[in-house]
């Protein structure tokens, strides 16, 4: 019987060498000058997959950077898991703020410093190393498919196309992604929910052209006034969205969920400090974490009208616009929310103005299916590896690939991230904790055993 803890510890040197080789390649997807480096990184990941015993390994061309795919399918009666990650990184600038060069990985204070260390080369490499170890020992009990893309940092421009045209290749029981963070050191985290998004732009017109406020002021409507009046109807005085039907499909948290969130260590003070906001705000009856993780919102992202230049211009604007987005929660249908917001805007629009709605679009929220066996297996694996009950968390944002897996492949995603919130991802001195590199691999090893 192999003890994974000692096996992984014995091979630590070789594991770090593999990771460092990948971290040395400046695969900056956003900058054209790095194009051949991005490809080299794809080839290096494919090479590591092949040497790990993963099969059908290859680069799949897209209109942008290639996708690396490989699989190991030898347990017909056990689940097939699609593991997603990305081999591209953010630009390293500003270089003068790094304490060691971004593409010359270095270990200091128990941390691996390099661009991509935590986001996401370190985390996806852990998956490949664990799969490789278990394959070489003949003990990998699940079927794995690896999808490692090179455009995550530029918005996964061609990934949805790739998924849509490779549905059979990517068919699986669920997806696992390690590209996110834990809440705090020493405590593993499992993210089970993400909010969705729905947005539109609105334009009000009150006449054919702008007017002189001396000649016409007081006798014609002002589009900016109409916009302010309309937008002020979107929330009530308790911070709730005042759109009819907006909360119809929102499911209340269970008492157990509320207790679990309340037990997490983030205080309002810390949250306020992170935000740099002057005060907290939000829907009454909910804590801060509940507000950002589990409640829907409607935000004005921008409003514009009339004259905003230097000095003074006595104009009555005939046009005024706003951009609105809503964060959605599980079970809300983006189309239904957009229809409710549109209805509200139409029925509250002042008679003096004509309303036009532009570019409505949205993506639903994500919730890992409660009670899914993979969730229970992941919780147990994390608990055993870290010796601590995992934080069950959600995130307030959206992850487009999670939506794509849900919409295009019908697959739920397990977000098992091993980064820490202060590891400077996208910033100078990006790093990844050696402890999480080790305990993360141990967790994945146990996870595959428990998930079989």
Enumerate binding residues for Zn ion (CB under 5 A).
Answer: 119-120, 179
Question: CA–CA separation, 369 vs 403, rounded Å?
Answer: 14
C-beta closer to Zn ion: residue 89 or 289: 89
Other beta carbons within 10 angstroms of residue 373's beta carbon come to 13
Query: Which backbone phi and psi does 319 adopt, to 5 degrees?
Result: -140, 145
User: Which of 436, 218, 410, 238 shows the shortest CA–CA distance to 316?
Assistant: 218
CB of 156 to Zn ion, least distance (A): 10
Q: How far is the CB of 180 from Zn ion (least distance, A)?
A: 8
In whole angstroms, how close is the CB of 413 to Zn ion at the nearest point?
A: 14
Beta bridge partners of 388: none
Minimum CB distance to Zn ion smaller for 117 or for 226: 117
Q: How many residues does this entry show for the chain?
A: 452
Minimum distance from CB of 367 to Zn ion (Å)? 21
What sign results for the dihedral spanned by CA atoms 134, 136, 139, 141?
positive
Cβ proximity to Zn ion, 120 vs 290, nearer residue:
120
Integer angstrom CA distances of residue 5 from 1, 9, 134, 211, 243? 12, 6, 13, 76, 54
Least separation in angstroms between residue 405's CB and Zn ion is 15
- Nearer of residues 34 and 72 to Zn ion, judged by Cβ: 34
Give the residue with the Cβ less far from Zn ion, 37 or 120: 120
Task: Closer to Zn ion by CB, 112 or 341: give it.
Answer: 112
β-sheet bridge partners, residue 321: 203, 304
Closest approach of Zn ion to the CB of residue 41, in Å: 14
Distances (CA, A) of 7 to 14, 54, 127, 140: 12, 20, 15, 14
| DSSP-derived pairing of the beta strands 80-86 and 174-177 | parallel
């Amino acid at each position: 019987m192999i003890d994974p803890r000692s096996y992984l510890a014995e091979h630590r040197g070789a594991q770090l060498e593999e990771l460092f080789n990948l971290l040395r390649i400046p695969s900056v997807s956003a900058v054209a000058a790095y194009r051949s480096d991005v490809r080299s990184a794809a080839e290096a990941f494919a090479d590591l997959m092949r040497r790990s015993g993963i099969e059908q390994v290859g680069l799949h061309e897209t209109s942008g950077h290639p996708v690396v795919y490989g699989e190991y399918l030898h347990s017909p009666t056990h689940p097939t898991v699609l593991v997603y990650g990305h081999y591209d990184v953010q630009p390293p600038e500003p270089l003068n703020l790094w304490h060691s060069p971004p593409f010359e990985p270095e270990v200091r204070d128990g941390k691996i410093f390099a661009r991509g260390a935590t986001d996401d080369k370190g985390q996806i490499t852990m998956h490949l190393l664990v799969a490789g170890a278990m394959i070489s020992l003949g003990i990998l009990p699940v079927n794995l498919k690896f999808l490692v893309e090179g455009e995550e940092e530029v918005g996964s421009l061609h990934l949805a196309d790739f998924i849509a045209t490779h549905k059979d290749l990517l068919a699986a029981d669920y997806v696992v992604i390690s590209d996110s963070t834990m809440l705090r050191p020493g405590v593993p985290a499992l993210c089970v929910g993400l909010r969705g998004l729905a947005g539109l732009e609105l334009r009000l017109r009150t006449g054919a052209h702008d007017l002189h406020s001396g000649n016409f002021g007081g006798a014609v409507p002002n589009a900016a006034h109409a916009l302010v009046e309309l937008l002020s109807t979107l929330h009530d005085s308790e911070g709730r969205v005042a759109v009819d039907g907006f909360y119809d499909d929102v499911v209340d948290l269970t008492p157990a969920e509320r207790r679990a969130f309340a037990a997490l260590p983030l205080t309002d003070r810390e949250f306020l400090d992170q935000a740099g906001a002057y005060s907290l705000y939000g829907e009454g009856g909910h804590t801060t974490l509940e507000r950002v993780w589990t409640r829907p919102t409607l935000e004005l992202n921008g409003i514009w009208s009339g004259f905003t230049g230097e000095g003074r211009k006595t104009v009555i604007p005939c046009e005024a616009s706003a951009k609105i987005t809503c964060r959605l929660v599980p079970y809300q249908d983006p189309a239904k929310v957009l229809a409710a917001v549109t209805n509200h805007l139409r029925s509250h629009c002042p008679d003096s103005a004509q309303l036009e709605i532009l570019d409505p679009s949205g993506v639903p929220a994500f919730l890992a299916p409660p009670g899914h066996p993979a969730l229970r297996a992941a919780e147990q694996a994390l608990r055993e590896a870290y010796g601590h009950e995992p934080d069950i968390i959600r995130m307030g944002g959206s992850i487009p690939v999670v939506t794509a897996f849900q919409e295009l492949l019908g697959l739920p995603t397990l977000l098992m991230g091993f980064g820490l919130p202060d590891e400077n991802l996208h910033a100078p001195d990006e790093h990844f904790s050696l402890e999480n590199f080790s305990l993360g691999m141990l967790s994945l090893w146990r996870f595959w055993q428990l998930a079989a």
